[in-house]
Amino acid sequence: MGLKILTEHINVPGIETLEVYRKHGGYKSVEKALKTMSPDEVVEEVKTSGLRGRGGAGFPTGMKWSFLAKPEGIPRYLVCNADESEPGTFKDRWFMEKNPHALIEGMITSSYALGANTSYIYIRGELLFVLRILEKAIAEAYAAGLLGKNILGSGYDLDLHVAPGGGAYICGEETALLESLEGKRGNPRNKPPFPAVKGLFQSPTVVNNVETISAVPWIVNNGGAEYAKIGIGRSTGTKLISASGNINNPGVYEIELGVPVEEFIYSDQYCGGIWKGKQLKAVVPGGSSVPILPANLILKTAAGEDRLMSYESLSDGGFVSGSMLGSGAFIVFDEDQCIVRNTWNYARFYHHESCGQCSPCREGTGWMEKVLHRIEYGHGHQQDIDLLVSVAKQIEGNTICPLGDAAAWPVASAVRHFRHEFEWHINNPKEATAPGAVYRGQLDAVTA
Amino acid sequence: MAETINEVKFSDAAMAEIQRYISHYPEGRQKSAILPILHIAQAEFGGWVSPEVMDKVAEILNIQPIEVYEVATFYTMFNLKPVGKHVLEVCRTGPCCLRGADQIIDMIKQKLNIEEGETTADGMFTLKPVECLASCGSGPMLQVRELFYENIDSEEKLDEFLETMRTKEHETPVWKK
């Protein structure tokens, strides 16, 4: 088993309580940071670590922190993005439920580094049971003097609150999240100004993912240089991967970045191979918004090397033959899965979740859903395939927030890699719409 | 359900919880508490938020009613019409479908004799297919109020779940304990 940074103690009975968490080294980073380091020193360690945002974008965390404006007399905020809603992604929910104090410790240390005296955890509304767990842990932290006024006698004050959403995927986008946190509809804001300059309540704000913030205590305790030694290249550290779909062992795994994809899929340590002994057909490696890859391309890079679980390796070859690590949501499709049906399913998701603010996204996601529906149900036309590609292109890059790209990429990549499957649906509607019908031509080509 | 604002009255425990959420935000930013208050309102008044309840929320937050309506209609968790005792929110998104969510939704329709969005004649169940619930590794799954029911991957498990729900009372909201 590889090094565990986030999950070393996650199965210890009672780790969700302050007492047990502290017995296993919990809150040492708060002690160290607040008593022996300046805020800038903490920021420097995070920069040195090479930690990248674990919510999907992979932007360097230390650099993001250093962008934060620091005008005198204006409050600064740290907001934790716990609005995990990307299909395939369930690592943050699992982590917060199991180990709430790890996130709270990260929030205190990170808030200190940023000079924030009030911080919020914005959690998706569907996870009210996790909100209760967090609130209980926060109350314990207040009682122990780890939150509130003059934390551990350091002179630093911090209030931490949890705020629930109401069921809107778009609120995972940082500016939509801020709108929602201000009690409004989750419509993304135009950037600039970026949240680092004008964020929550028009004040400088950093928005970071749960996993990102939870990695900070280890970096403070052990040093950024030690963290940078883990992983591969610019993909430093460990990553939580949520694996789902047609595999034997669905679940959340902490990996050192750089594990070969083939090992991740077939090793008993991780996914344990394909469900019911079937063949691998395709993988969406980083959440529903990233491009799907057929079996041969998920196992090998464009250069013919083993594909690795890292930011760089998974994107090797661009979108022609690569994808993205994204949020680390690894969705596996076996040979019995219909790519057209799955693409329609995701198109329906993005149409449902579009906030409706930008025309290309509002209209385009609906058109893609309709066209995919008619192909899947045996009423498609040959020109529909190019129409799908055209609509996806017109959405991509033409919206205020990245939801448009997220909606376009799954459709464009499915057509790119499985065009013959769409053609088969259109040319053989009766066969394609029979119960359990799956086109297997691509699988034959892959496994030949 | 109450017909005027005056008839909508939160319990003392719920009001204390509402005030706690309002206190989390800076002076003048009390509107930020609107989502937690709508969650409390929905649990307090039969699983949905009526216009009268939304008006009451506006009154508490000292904002215009339209500001509550536009939020409540944007977020899918808030039910804007009466629902059954148990709202079955079944995840219908990609990973759950790879493990059979479509078939589970069809079975629920058949067994309860309702379509999506409908409530059974006895008022016991409402079927509400929803998008991803962050339980992709344990699908098919569904949510009832605050609880997840996972790995509902056979007719036997579905039958067992529905039977349990028929006799189940909802957990007391946490602020009433």
C-beta atoms of A132 and B38 within 8 A: no
Q: What is the tens place of the pLDDT at every residue in A111-168?
A: 999 999 999 999 999 999 999 999 999 999 999 999 999 999 999 999 999 999 999 9
Assess contact for A401 and A173: CB atoms under 8 A. Answer: yes
Given the cut 0.85, state whether the ipTM is greater than it: yes
Long-range interactions of A174-177: CB distance < 8 A, separation 24+: A174/A81, A174/A207, A175/A401, A176/A355, A176/A401, A177/A79, A177/A81, A177/A83, A177/A122, A177/A207
Closest CA to A251 of A97, A123, A99, A89: A89
Above 70 in pLDDT, residue A442?
A: no
- Burial state string for A121-154 with b = 16 or more CB within 10 A and e = fewer than 16: bbbbbbbbbbbebbbebbebbeeeebbeeebeee
pLDDT of residue A440: 80
C-beta atoms of A84 and B134 within 8 A: yes
**Residue B143 forms contact with A (CB below 8 Å):** yes
**CA dihedral for B62, B64, B65, B67, sign (positive or negative):** negative
User: DSSP 3-state helix, strand, coil percentages of chain B (rounded to 5)?
Assistant: 45, 10, 45
Ordered DSSP codes for A24-51: TTTTHHHHHHHHH--HHHHHHHHHHHT-
pLDDT of residue B174: 59
For residue B134, list chain A residues with Cβ-Cβ distance below 8 A: 84-85, 89-90, 92-93, 124, 126-127
Stretch A357-385: mean pLDDT: 96
Nearest Cα of chain A lies from the Cα of B131 at a distance, in angstroms, of 6
Closest CA to A64 of A159, A204, A224, A188: A204
- Please, is B115 exposed, middle or buried when counting C-beta atoms within 10 Å of its C-beta (0-12, 13-18, 19+)? exposed
The set of residues, in sequence order, having a beta carbon less than 8 Å from that of A148 and lying 6+ positions away, is A142, A157, A158, A159
Q: Mean pLDDT, chain A, as a whole number?
A: 95
Stretch A299-311: mean pLDDT: 93
Q: Mean pLDDT, chain B, as a whole number?
A: 91
Give the DSSP letter of residue B170.
P
Stretch B137-150: mean pLDDT: 92
pTM: 0.95
* pLDDT band for position B1 (cuts 50, 70, 90): very low
Q: Say which of B34, B77, B137 has its CB closest to residue A167.
A: B77
* pLDDT band for position B176 (cuts 50, 70, 90): low
Assess contact for A82 and A126: CB atoms under 8 A. Answer: no
**Residue A337 forms contact with B (CB below 8 Å):** yes
Above 60 in pLDDT, residue B5?
A: no
Nearest Cα of chain A lies from the Cα of B45 at a distance, in angstroms, of 17
In B, minimum Cα distance to A177 occurs at B32
Bridging pattern class, strands A329-334 and A238-245: parallel
**Residue A128 forms contact with B (CB below 8 Å):** yes
C-beta atoms of A329 and B136 within 8 A: yes
In a mutagenesis test of the B interface, which of A94, A182, A184 is the best target, namely the one with the most B β-carbons within 10 Å? Answer: A184
C-beta atoms of A345 and B97 within 8 A: yes
Q: What is the tens place of the pLDDT at every residue in B32-58?
A: 999 999 999 999 999 999 999 999 999
pLDDT of residue B168: 76
Above 70 in pLDDT, residue B172?
A: no
CA–CA gap between residue B66 and residue A435 (Å, rounded):
47
C-beta atoms of B98 and A337 within 8 A: yes
* pLDDT band for position A434 (cuts 50, 70, 90): confident
* pLDDT band for position A303 (cuts 50, 70, 90): confident
For residue A184, list chain B residues with Cβ-Cβ distance below 8 A: 31, 70-71
Stretch A369-382: mean pLDDT: 96
Helix (H, G, I), strand (E, B), or coil: what is residue B62?
coil
pLDDT of residue B4: 46
